[in-house]
Amino acid sequence: MSAFKERCPKYIKCGAKTYKIKVDSALLSASPETFGMFLSDKMLIIIRDTLPFEEAREVLMHEIIHMLHFNMGHADASGEFDGEVNVSLLSFMFDSLLDSNPGLLRLYT
């Protein structure tokens, strides 16, 4: 089992909704460039289990951004809002922010 899979939460809440997070090989049938998926209809985020820890964490943040935009009503069922580039930029910025400032998380736990 990968270190990311061991440490990754199994669920994430967004308002009153709870989404399951799966880290497994379910994405192997997707294109090789697909590292994660947000499936609003299944209330599920899937992360490819073969990714290195830091990359898997960035992909999880990317899918969380899709989830947030969907729940804010600013996105379609795929979580898409203003383009994949914007989601990628936001997820990279949040991941970098949290990685560089672990004390921020202590404000919420």
Structural domains for the chain: 3-101 (1.10.10)
The DSSP-derived string for 47-80 is: EETTS-HHHHHHHHHHHHHHHHHHHTTSS-TT--
Please calculate the CA angle 42-45-46 and round it to the nearest 5 degrees: 110
How many secondary structure helices (H) and strands (E) does the chain include? 4, 4
Tens of pLDDT along 37-73?
999 899 999 999 999 999 999 999 999 988 887 877 7
Per-residue confidence band for 34, with pLDDT thresholds at 50, 70 and 90:
confident
- Predicted confidence (pLDDT) per residue in 1-27, tens digit: 688 999 899 998 887 889 999 998 877
pLDDT digit string, tens, across residues 80-98:
555 676 778 788 878 887 8
